[in-house]
Chains A and B, each alone.
Chain A
Amino acid sequence: MPFVRRYKDMNTDLEALYKDIAKELQNEKELNIGKELKGDVNGVPFMSVTAHRDTIPKLVTGTLREVTVTITGEKNDYLIEMHTGAWFSNLALPYMGATILVGPLAGLAAAGATGLMAAQYGRKLKAKIKELVKKYSKAEYSDEKVETFTE
């Protein structure tokens, strides 16, 4: 699930925001940080962290596979992208809460109640990032300063 937000006129400490987001990922015991990229793109600061699941899930469909958070821009105009990847999410039938598979593979699917589910984790992380943006911004947070891009 890719989720992109643009923040303007927030005067945000982006380095500190990035560090806290990376810490948030590190605090999740089922995740391991696999890659961090820092630099600039055409003179615009760029920071990206990818964390991945470190262990075999008990059930596969919809379980969190990896998370990437990217921050790019300047303190008064920046973008945050959050991607949460789920294994075999397109085998799930959302309206039935079931999966398509039968035969030997049916054991992979089962119900989505256990494990670190991508949708649930993405929701939690999105709320945490909002909190952290407020914490590290000198200007007051308001919806007019935030634009959300969806697919």
Chain B
Amino acid sequence: MVLTRRYKDLGTDLKGLYKDIKKELQQDKDLSIISETHGSINDVPFNSIIAARASVPRFITGTLREVSVTITGVPDDWLLEVHTGIWFGNLVLPSAGGFLIAGPVGAVAGAGTTMVFAREYGRKLKNRIKELVKKRSDKAYSEEKVETFID
């Protein structure tokens, strides 16, 4: 899942927001932070963090594999990208709630409860970031100031 949002006219403290998001990722015991990238691209500030799953999961298909969050821009015009990677997500048959594979590798698929974990994690993080954007912005948040890009 990739979510990209552009925020305008919010006067957001982007450093403060990045720190809060990092703390959010650190608090999840299933994740460990593997990379942080800070700098600028053509003079536009750029901050990115990647957290990966810390241990081998009990079930694979649909389990959260890694999360990356990137913030780039200036307080009144910036982009947020949230990517949540899922192991073997394309082996899932959503309509049947089952999997395409059988045989020895069928066992790695397992029950769908862990898939909920990955999807729920993405949803939870998205909502948490919305809260943090409001907290770190000087101006009032409104839907008109936010544009969402999808694949």
Q: Are A103 and B77 in contact (CB under 8 A)?
A: yes
Q: Is A4 in the interface zone, CB < 8 Å from B?
A: yes
Binding-face segment, B87-95, B122-130, B135-143: B87-95
Residues of B within 8 A of A68 (CB): 65-66, 85
- How many contacts between A and B, using CB within 8 angstroms? 164
Q: Number of residues in B with C-beta < 8 Å to the partner?
A: 54
* Chain B positions 48 through 90: 1 when the CB is less than 8 Å from some CB of chain A, otherwise 0: 1010110111111000011010101110011101010101111
CB of A146, distance to nearest CB on chain B (Å): 14
Interface residues on A, range: 35 or more
Q: Is A54 in the interface zone, CB < 8 Å from B?
A: yes
Q: Are B44 and A108 in contact (CB under 8 A)?
A: yes
Q: Which residues 20-34 of B sit at the A interface, judged by CB distance below 8 A?
A: 32, 34
Q: Are B59 and A42 in contact (CB under 8 A)?
A: yes
Q: Is A145 in the interface zone, CB < 8 Å from B?
A: no
Residues of B within 8 A of A149 (CB): 90-91, 100
A88/B83 contact (C-beta < 8 A), A42-B59, A44-B108, A105-B73 known: no
Residues of B within 8 A of A97 (CB): none
- A sample of 28 inter-chain contacts (CB < 8 A) reads A35-B66, A41-B107, A41-B110, A44-B105, A46-B56, A53-B37, A56-B40, A57-B41, A65-B68, A68-B85, A70-B88, A72-B105, A73-B108, A79-B88, A79-B101, A88-B4, A89-B2, A89-B151, A90-B2, A90-B4, A91-B4, A91-B149, A100-B149, A104-B77, A105-B6, A108-B44, A110-B42, A151-B89
